Amino acid sequence: MTGYLVIDGAVLNLTPYLRLHNTPIPSDNVDIAIRTVLKADASGSGKDATRLFLNRADLHSAVPCLKQRYYAGNIDKVTPGCFVSSLFLYAGLIVILALVFIRFIMACIFNWFLSERLAGPISKEELNRSAISPAVMPEGANISVDNKNGTAPWAGGQKKLSKPTKGPRSIASSSSGTLIGSDAGVAPIMSLAQIGAELFAVCLVTCYSEGEESLRTTLDSISLTTYSDARKLLFVVADGMITGAGEKRSTPDICVSLLEADPRFGNPIPMSYNAVGSGAKANNRAMVYAGHYTVAGRRTPTVIVVKCGTEAEAATDKKPGNRGKRDSQLILMNFFSRVTYNDRMTPLDFDLFRKIHILTGVTPDFFEVCLMVDADTKVFPSSLKHLVNCMHHDQMIMGVCGETRIANKRQSWVTAIQVFEYFISHHLAKAFESVFGGVSCLPGCFSMFRLKARKNTGDDWVPLIIKPEIVKEYSQSEVTTLHQKNLLLLGEDRFLTTILLRTFPNRKMMFLPQARCRTIVPDTFKILLSQRRRWINSTIHNLMELVLVRNLCGTFCFSMQFVVFMDLLGTVVLPIAIALTYTLIVGMAISPPKTFEEAIPLMLLVAVLGLPAILILITTRKVVYVFWMMIYLFALPIWNFVLPVYAFWHFDDFSWGETRKVEGEAKGDGHGDGGKGGRGVRSRCAGGKIGSVRDCAS
C-alpha cells in the first residue's frame, strides 16, 4: 500500500491526488505537508499525520475536504506501542485518582466522626479500672530528701531504710501512702486509692538555645492546660551550657530562673549518666533542679535537667554537656525504662527518681504517657486533656500528635507559604493515615507517646516507647553509613515513630485535630532551606525503612505499605514532577485536549490541586485557608523543585545549619563527636564507667 496516511483515525488514500498532481504545487502548504509525510517513510505510506494537520490552523481547515474526497476507512487495530501507552495511562489514572479520592474521603470521615470520639470525655467505665502498683521500690530504698549523692541505701554496709532527718525537710513513705514527717507544707505520698485510673503525664520540654520569651511561653502554656497539676510533671532538659545568639544569659540559667525551687533539695550535684556520643562524649553529667513552675495561681511539679558535661569537658569545650536532642529524649526514656523494669540506675536516674517521687507524691512508675514539646511551642489550654482522653479511649494507641499551627504566619512571605502546607499535611495526610492507625511521622514539637500500656487482663504492663529494644536502637552512638546518619542525626523524631511502627505494627499511631499548638517557623528563606533539607532527607530514609515493614494493615495496593511506597516515590520524583506539570499546563493552554486520553493528565492535576480546597470548606469551614492555599500554589516551584533539589544536593550534610544559632558557634560544630572532650571524670565506680545505685558505694 502506497500513498496512504492517517489523520485523526481516518485512513486516507491519496494515490488519486498524487496521480492528478504528479509534481509539487508551489506555495501550497497542504501539498507540501502531504508530500513531506509520505516521503518520510521508505514505503511512501503508513504515516500518522494527525499531529501535523491538527496543530496548524492552515492545515486543519483542509482536513474535512481531504476526508470527504480521499477517505478509505478507519484504523481497526491498535499498534503494540499505542496499546502499552494507553494501558499505562489508564492504570496510572485509576491508581492515582483512587489514591487521591480515598485519601480525601477517609480524611473527611476521620474529621467528621472518628476524631470527636477519640477526644471526647472519659467514660465512667474507663475511670473505674483499678490502679496497678508494679512495686519497683526495693525494700529499704532510700528516698530521703537528704540523700543528695544518689547512692543506694545500703552504701557503706547499711541494709535498712535510712532514717529521715528530723524537721520539715524530710519525707518518706510506705507502700500504704503514709507520710513520714509532720510538716503541713509537704505534699503527702498518694495511696493506691488516691491514685485511681486517671493517667499521669510527664511533659518533656527539650531546650537548646531558646531565649526567655520562648521558654516562658511554652512552660506557661503547658502549666495552664486544663489537665490537673497533680497529674502532670514538667520535665525540662537543657542541652548543655549553651547561650543563644543575642542572649545575655545561658539557656540553663534562664530555665532555672523560671523555677520556684524546692528548698528541701538544696543545690544539685552533677550526676553521671551514659550519653549518646562516641569516645569521651559517651560520658556526661547533669544536674537536677526540682520545684514548681508557678503561673496564674497554678503550681506544676517541675524538674529541670541541666547537662553540664564532665570536668575536663567544662574546661575545654565550647558547649560542655551538649549531646543533641536525641540524648535529651533518651534521658527520660532510659529513666522510665529502668524504673519499669526495676533495673539498675545511674546516679542521675536515682536523683530523678527521689525528686519526682517527693514532688508528685507517686513513684515514677505510675506515669503512663509522655508529651514531647519543643521549647518554641505554645500548647492550647485543652490540648493535653484531649490527648490524654485519646490515650484513655484506646489502649492500642501508642502515639498521637495534635495539629501544629503557625504563630508567625504574617511575618514574611516565607512564613506565609508554609501556612497551607502545615494545614494540609495534618488534615489530609495525617487524617487519612489515622483511619488505619498508621501515622508515619509524629512531629517532635507536639506529640504524646505511651510509655507503657496495660495488658488486656488489666494487671500488668506492656512497655512501648521505653521497651529496651527501642531504647537501644534509638540510642545508637556509632553512626557510620549515610542511611544511619540521615535517620539518627537529622530526623530523630520521625525515626522514633518508624521504630515504634516497625516494632509494634498492630498498634496505632494517631492524629488528633482537637489538640492544637502554635509554633514559630523559619521566617527567612535561608533558614527554611536548612530546615527542609533535614526534613526531606530524613523523610526519604525513614520511608525506606517503613516500606520494608510487611505486616502493616492491608494487602497489596490496598495497604499502608503501598501508600508508604507511593509517598517515597512521590518524594523522590518531586522536581521532575513539577517541571512536567508546568510543561503540561503550557501545552494544554496552547493546544486544548481533543480526546479523553489527552485530558487524563489534566484531570489528575485538577483532582490533586482542587480536592484540598474542598476539604477546607467541608471540614474546617475556614474560607481564609483558601487564600493561604493560593499563596501555597504560587510557591509550588519552591516546595516541589527548589527545596528537594537543594536537599538532594546536600544528601551528605548532617549539620543543623541555620535552624538554631548559638553564640560563637562555627558551622559544622556537631553533637557527640569525641574531639576535645577529654576522658571525663570517673564516677564512683571502679573502671571509670557510669555507676548504678545498686553497685556504687561511697
Alpha-carbon distances of 644 from 33, 52, 496, 649, 650, rounded to whole Å: 44, 38, 23, 8, 10
Cβ–Cβ < 8 Å for 49, 37: yes
Closest to 546 measured CA to CA, from 609, 496, 488: 496
Q: What is the pLDDT of residues 261-317, one digit of tens each?
A: 999 898 999 999 999 988 888 999 999 999 999 999 999 999 999 999 998 888 888
Q: Which of 231-235, 495-499, 623-627 has the lowest mean pLDDT?
A: 623-627
Question: Which fold is adopted by the domain 4-74?
Answer: Flavocytochrome B2; Chain A, domain 1 (3.10.120)
- Rounded to the nearest angstrom, the gap between the alpha carbon of residue 610 and the centroid of all alpha carbons in its chain is 26
- pLDDT for 667: 55
Work out the pLDDT band at 638, boundaries 50, 70, 90: very high
Q: What residues have CB less than 8 Å from 401, skipping those under 6 apart? A: 430, 439, 442, 443, 446, 447, 448, 510, 511, 512, 515
Closest to 658 measured CA to CA, from 533, 563, 480, 473: 533
Work out the pLDDT band at 512, boundaries 50, 70, 90: very high
Q: Which residue has the higher pLDDT, 648 or 682?
A: 648
- pLDDT for 1: 65
The Cβ of residue 189 has, within 10 Å, a number of other Cβ atoms equal to 23
- Computed over every residue of the chain, the mean pLDDT equals 83
Q: How do the domains of the chain map onto residue ranges? A: 4-74, 120-133+189-393, 405-440+478-664
- CA 307 to CA 38: how far, in whole Å? 81
- pLDDT for 124: 73
- pLDDT for 295: 95
Which grid cell is 619? 471540614
Closest to 444 measured CA to CA, from 386, 527, 526, 531: 531
Q: What is the pLDDT of residues 430-444, one digit of tens each?
A: 999 999 998 999 998
Q: What is the pLDDT of residues 35-94, one digit of tens each?
A: 888 876 655 556 788 888 888 888 888 889 988 998 888 877 777 877 888 888 888 888
- CA 320 to CA 304: how far, in whole Å? 17
Pairing of strands 4-7, 10-13: antiparallel
Q: What residues have CB less than 8 Å from 43, skipping those under 6 apart? A: 1, 2
Handedness of CA 208, 212, 214, 216 (dihedral sign): positive
- CA 442 to CA 371: how far, in whole Å? 11
For residue 406, the cross-strand partners are: 519
Q: What residues have CB less than 8 Å from 601, skipping those under 6 apart? A: 584
Phi first, then psi: give them for residue 292, nearest 5 degrees: -135, 145
Average pLDDT on 451-471 reads 87
Please provide the distance, in angstroms rounded to a whole number, between the alpha carbons at the two ends of the chain: 104
Q: What is the pLDDT of residues 669-679, one digit of tens each?
A: 554 444 433 33
- CA 642 to CA 638: how far, in whole Å? 5
Average pLDDT on 460-472 reads 92
Is pLDDT above 80 for 358? yes
Is pLDDT above 70 for 521? yes
Cβ–Cβ < 8 Å for 302, 292: yes
Closest to 565 measured CA to CA, from 543, 550, 586: 543
- pLDDT for 145: 58
Helix orientation angle between 492-503 and 325-341, rounded to the nearest 10 degrees: 30
